[in-house]
Amino acid sequence: MTTLGALYIYPVKSLGSIKLTETQIFEEGFQYDRLWMIVDELGQCITQREAPILNLIQIKLIDNGFYIYLNDQPKNGFILEHDELLKQKMNVTIWSSEFLTSVSNPIGSVWLSDYLKQKVHLVKMDKNQRIKHTNFYPKPFLINFSDGYPIHIINQASVDDLSNRLGYQIEPLQFRPNIILNNLKAYTEDNINRIQIGNVHFDIIKRCERCIITTLIKNSIQFGKEPLKTLSGYRKSGNAIHFGIYAIAKDDLNPESQHISTNDRIELTISEM
């Protein structure tokens, strides 16, 4: 029986992850997932692609929010509160989307500016500001600062198969998933149409196209060749290398069904291969 191996959120886009056993879920994704983002003075998003040293910043859950800190200097950090009272607004751009956000408290922006050695702002997504239109899904939907889609799912068996091809165990978090599925044959995820976790139904939008960020191993600031080189040998279609799938919680959500946990039962709808 397929089970949930882990749930993850990344409160600040391109910073560290937080492992969860349960979470609230919304159309735009898991609660607090990619709710904040780093931008330059022009409002352009800054990620590990442009600044791989962001890979050295970790984050942990605390009572009133998150503590963000350097991996090798745990006392060097700042607190990001869940419920900030924010008034300043800023137009930001992520890929081709431009929309209005709130500027987070200045402590985080100053800390990140010092670390990146350039003036940056930490911004927070305002509710209902970013609406995604795509040919891969029949109607527009809300999204936070994720690259393209609300929820990213990978299959542990596919990670293990890739590890066997590489000759070493790859860290699943290099793919920055929200959900890791267990007890499923490798690459079965390619043919999943729908998932039900507990009372929450998810539609599968498309397969995930992988980028250079997957080559940043834990605590590294140097891009490598793997796993993209190996994946290109058997997971390439056109110019895209696929690994994992994107999903969205269906819009029949209600207060009783906006919650999932690693103990929930999973049901899959899988098309024939």
Per-residue pLDDT reduced to its tens digit, 120-134: 999 999 999 999 999
Q: State the Cα–Cα distance between residues 61 and 68, nearest whole angstrom.
A: 9
- Give the span between the Cα atoms of 196 and 179, in whole angstroms: 13
Q: How far is CA 230 from CA 29, 170, 264, in A?
A: 30, 12, 34
**Average pLDDT over all residues of the chain:** 95
pLDDT over 60 at 253, yes or no: no
Q: What H or E segment, with its residue span, contains residue 112?
A: helix 106-116
Q: Do the Cβ atoms of 144 and 97 come closer than 8 Å?
A: no
Angle at 137 between CA 131 and CA 143, to 5 degrees: 30
What's the rounded Cα separation, in Å, for the pair 230 and 113?
36
Q: Left, alpha or beta for 244 (phi > 0: left; psi -120 to 50: alpha)?
A: left
Question: Above 90 in pLDDT, residue 250?
Answer: no
Residue 19 pLDDT > 70, yes or no? Answer: yes
Which CATH entry fits the domain spanning 3-270: 3.30.420.40, 2.40.33.20, 3.40.50.300, 3.10.520.10?
A: 2.40.33.20
Q: 155-187: per-residue pLDDT in tens?
A: 999 999 999 999 999 999 999 999 999 999 999
Q: Establish how many alpha carbons lie within 13 A of residue 20's alpha carbon, considering only the half-sphere containing its beta carbon.
A: 24
pLDDT single digits (tens) 193-223: 999 999 899 999 999 999 999 999 999 999 9
- Residue-wise pLDDT tens digits, 72-116: 999 999 999 988 888 899 999 998 899 999 999 899 999 999 999
pTM: 0.96
| Percentage of the chain modeled with pLDDT above 90 | 90
pLDDT reported for residue 18: 98
Helix or strand run (H / E) with residue 100:
strand 97-103
Question: Does 273 score more than 80 pLDDT?
Answer: no
Residue 256 has pLDDT above 60, yes or no: no
Query: Which pLDDT value is given to residue 220?
Result: 96
> At a CB cut-off of 8 Å and minimum separation 6, what does 215 contact?
174, 223, 224, 225, 226, 227, 228
> pLDDT value at position 9?
98
